[in-house]
């Protein structure tokens, strides 16, 4: 295989170049999947409930925030706007204060009348008093905030969804001295698909610039920097093409693949370029690096791929696709890296082998060496905190950054009008009194009821709750179930919000179980490769699990919780931080197999790996800094978790791993 890469290095390069150009020409527009219904379909509930719940995806909530209290002129203007909205073929219904009906307390007959009347200024003023008395759910007590619950229909394409959002925004923006807030699943899908590609390009560019500067600082050769960046660009384009070819587009979760490929490529290049002994014979140098460094590089690619492959055993289709695409991309990247490395050797590009910065970092870590017991106790304490404090919880807004415009629009509805999470209740054979006490109980539990509709023996209650997380939501559902049993009310719970709570936890656990299996598999691979020495199971897992749990424990101090949005990040981070420990363990094992003494093998291990590990960690940390400001929480959390875990792993690998090898692997 080594001879193949060397002999056909230029043929391989031009094949990659032609494939890259072909991919660029064929990917004119990247389709991003944001299909929430696939999550719903995983729920083990009746098909009828699922169909009713999917209908919630057509719900839009429009919040109007007036500078001053609602006046008569504005009421007339809003009514005219609502008449215009009703004419749209994409609007099924609009519920608001303008068509809210109540039964008057003083009325002898239970006849519903309009709560809001603005036929004249006098009737308008009287209506405000009536609203104060009856507490409308569509307008705030200070008459400055209004909500319009809009049911859409016939929205089949992304263009139609975008057009209806623009139409609604345009209409409500006609109201002077007001701010418009639109939210709902349609808005979230359009917002994310519109921003994901734009943000992807911005952060790739920023990270590429920072990475270039850091690479140049370490290698002091702009040609090598260019080749490294070119390999990353090729790998990213091929990963997008693989997903497009296999699945017709990319999943929203795949927006982090460029960051993963970037980390993998930089790590592998830094180790391959860590050349301690040079030679005039180019093939001999290439062969030597692949034998001593290339094997660990392949092993790191294999273990990283196993980590991502664990996603393919789950039932959540987007993560399954993510696992397949990332696994294939890792091996494609490895082929690109080795091909480009052969070109670097053949072109005899001069390389600065050491850096004063890495020397200083090694000295700094060695300076704290006498305090390693305190550091180890700190790591173990944080790991214990992770086991004790961590919890699984899921919010609908988990993926949305709290500083984004979308989150602020959602928060307006959350704070003022009962929440964004659609929950429906279907009551069977319930009489009027049972429906009444059921609704009263929902109101007591901060559930905002939008509509109560009775047909024959079935009553449908459409409601919303705040995005309080799946843990608190399930407590609420159980409370409602217990109340219904006491009152002998037969009912079913449905709605997108309810189904999200039911399935998100099971998928999160599924991901974590897959991660555990992948970790154990990686450990056993080390055991098999080292003559079934079971000590390698302990040695290979400890330097990776401790940083991972320490990071989790540290984040738990700040209210961090595991969710569907971030559980897979830990699988990714494990696959990435395992690389450094593999290089150290492999270097030690190679030296011992050459019958070198333990002390000499440790020195060989430090000489061969420490500088490359430090360079890799520094470049990755600094290059990931822009991602901390991402509007998508999974990307910002990927950056923060990776940076923290990488720092802890670096300290652990340099301070403790050599001693562990010396003590347990003889």
pLDDT at 278: 64
Q: Does residue 228 belong to any structural domain of this protein? A: yes
Show the tokens assigned to 518.
């992948």
Angle between helices 295-309 and 317-346 (to 10 degrees): 170
- Indicate whether 349 and 244 sit together in one domain: yes
Cα separation, 421 vs 183, whole angstroms: 11
Q: What is the DSSP letter of 293?
A: I
Total of domains in the chain? 3
Residues 230 and 317 in one domain: yes
26 within domain boundaries: yes
pLDDT, tens digit, 9 for 90 and up, residues 355-396:
667 777 777 777 787 888 899 999 999 999 999 988 889 888
The 8-class DSSP code of residue 290 comes to I
pLDDT of amino acid 50: 43
Question: Are residues 317 and 417 both part of a single domain?
Answer: no
User: Same domain for 328 and 431?
Assistant: no
Q: Is 142 helix (H, G, I), strand (E, B) or coil?
A: coil
Domain of residue 115, CATH code: 3.30.70.1430
Q: Decide: 467 and 397 in contact? Cβ < 8 Å.
A: yes
User: Looking at the domain assignment, is residue 382 inside a domain?
Assistant: no
Q: Six-digit token pair at 180?
A: 């418009």
442, part of any domain: yes
**pLDDT of 28:** 62
- Cross-strand bridge partners of residue 103: 112
Q: What is the pLDDT of residues 524-553, one digit of tens each?
A: 888 887 788 888 888 888 888 899 999 999
77 and 13 within one domain: no
Q: Are 473 and 433 in contact (CB under 8 A)?
A: no
> Domain range for residue 477?
405-494
Neighbouring CB atoms inside 10 A of 89's CB total 9
The residue out of 494, 523, 554 marking a domain boundary is 494
Say if 278 falls within a structural domain: yes
CATH code, 458: 3.30.70.260
Q: Judge if 75 and 149 occupy the same domain.
A: yes
Whether 601 is in a domain gets the answer no
The SS3 of residue 88 is: coil
The last residue of one of the domains, among 494, 518, 539, is 494
Is the same domain home to 230 and 277? yes
What is the 3 state secondary structure string of 579-625? HHHHHHHHHHHHHHHCCCCHHHHHHHHHHHHHHHHHHHHHHHHHHHH
Indicate whether 224 and 337 sit together in one domain: yes
Same domain for 339 and 287 = yes
In a domain, 260, yes or no: yes
Strand 145-152 relative to strand 59-66: parallel, antiparallel, unpaired? antiparallel
Cβ atoms < 10 Å from Cβ of 481: 13
Asked if 227 and 346 sit in the same domain, the reply is yes
CA distance 421 to 423: 6
Per-residue pLDDT tens over the stretch 273-289: 877 666 678 888 888 88
Task: Give the DSSP H or E segment for 26.
Answer: helix 9-26
What value, to the nearest 5°, has the Cα angle with vertex 510 and ends 508 and 511? Answer: 65
Q: In the prediction, which pLDDT does 55 show?
A: 58
- Looking at the fold, whether 225 and 326 belong to one and the same domain comes out as yes
Of 184, 202, 229, which residue is a domain's last? 184
Is 247 inside any structural domain?
A: yes
Cα separations in angstroms, 343 against 215, 295, 607? 18, 19, 25
In this structure, the answer to whether residues 139 and 226 fall within a common structural domain is no
| Residue numbers of the chain with a pLDDT score lower than 50 | 35-38, 40-51, 53-54
């Amino acid at each position: 295989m080594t001879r193949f890469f060397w002999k056909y290095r230029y043929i391989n390069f031009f094949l990659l170049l032609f494939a890259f150009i072909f991919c660029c020409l064929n990917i004119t527009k990247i389709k991003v999947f944001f299909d929430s219904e696939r999550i719903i379909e995983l729920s083990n509930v009746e098909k009828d409930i699922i169909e009713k719940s999917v209908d919630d995806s057509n719900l839009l909530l429009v919040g109007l925030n007036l500078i001053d209290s609602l006046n008569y002129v504005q009421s007339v203007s809003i009514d005219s706007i609502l008449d215009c909205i009703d004419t749209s073929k994409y609007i099924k219904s609009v519920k608001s204060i303008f068509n809210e009906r109540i039964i008057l307390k003083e009325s002898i007959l239970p006849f519903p009348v309009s709560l809001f009347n603005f036929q004249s200024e006098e009737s308008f003023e009287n209506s405000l008093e009536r609203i104060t008395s009856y507490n409308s759910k569509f307008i705030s007590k200070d008459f400055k905030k209004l909500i319009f619950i809009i049911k859409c229909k016939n929205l089949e394409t992304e263009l139609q969804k975008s057009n209806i959002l623009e139409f609604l925004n345009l209409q409500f923006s006609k109201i002077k001295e007001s701010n418009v807030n639109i939210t709902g699943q349609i808005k979230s899908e359009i917002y994310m698909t519109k921003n994901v590609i734009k943000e992807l390009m911005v952060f790739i560019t920023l990270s590429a610039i920072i990475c270039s500067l850091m690479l140049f600082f370490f290698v002091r050769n702009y040609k090598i920097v260019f080749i490294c960046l070119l390999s990353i660009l090729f790998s990213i384009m091929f990963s997008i093409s693989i997903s497009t070819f296999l699945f017709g587009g990319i999943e929203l979760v795949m927006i982090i693949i460029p960051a993963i490929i970037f980390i993998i490529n930089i790590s592998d290049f830094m180790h391959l370029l860590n050349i301690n002994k040079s030679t005039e014979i180019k093939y001999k140098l290439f062969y030597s690096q692949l034998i001593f460094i290339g094997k660990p590089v392949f092993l790191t690619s294999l273990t990283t791929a196993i980590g991502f492959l664990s996603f393919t055993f789950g039932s959540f289709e987007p993560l399954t696709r993510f696992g397949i695409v990332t696994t294939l991309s890792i091996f494609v990247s490895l082929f690109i890296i080795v091909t480009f490395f052969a070109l670097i050797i053949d072109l005899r590009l001069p390389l600065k082998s050491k850096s004063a910065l890495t020397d200083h970092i090694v000295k700094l870590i060695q300076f704290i060496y006498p305090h390693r017991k305190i550091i180890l106790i700190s790591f173990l304490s944080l790991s214990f905190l992770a086991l004790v404090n961590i919890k699984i919880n899921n919010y609908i807004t988990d993926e949305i950054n709290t500083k984004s415009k979308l989150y602020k629009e959602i928060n307006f509805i959350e704070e003022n009008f009962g929440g964004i999470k659609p929950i429906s209740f279907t009551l069977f054979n319930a009489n009027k009194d049972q429906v009444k006490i059921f609704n009263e109980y929902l109101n007591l539990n901060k559930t905002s009821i939008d509509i109560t509709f009775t047909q024959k023996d079935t009553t449908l209650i459409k409601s919303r709750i705040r995005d309080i997380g799946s843990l608190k939501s399930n407590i609420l559902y159980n409370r409602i179930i217990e109340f219904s049993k006491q009152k002998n009310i037969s009912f079913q719970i449905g709605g997108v919000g309810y189904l999200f709570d039911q399935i998100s936890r099971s998928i999160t656990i599924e991901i974590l179980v897959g991660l555990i299996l992948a970790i154990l598999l990686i450990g056993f691979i080390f055991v098999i490769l080292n003559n079934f020495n079971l000590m390698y199971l302990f040695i290979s897992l400890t330097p990776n699990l401790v940083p991972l749990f320490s990071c989790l424990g540290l984040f738990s101090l700040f209210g961090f919780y595991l969710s569907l949005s971030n559980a897979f990040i830990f699988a990714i981070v494990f696959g990435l931080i395992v690389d450094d420990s593999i290089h150290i363990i492999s270097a030690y094992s190679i030296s011992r197999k050459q019958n070198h003494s333990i002390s000499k093998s440790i020195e060989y291990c430090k000489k061969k790996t420490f500088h490359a590990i430090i360079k890799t960690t520094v470049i990755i940390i600094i290059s990931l800094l822009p991602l901390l400001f991402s509007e998508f929480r999974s990307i910002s959390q990927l950056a923060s978790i990776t940076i923290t875990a990488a720092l802890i792993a670096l300290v652990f690998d340099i301070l403790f791993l050599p001693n562990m090898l010396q003590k347990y692997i003889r």
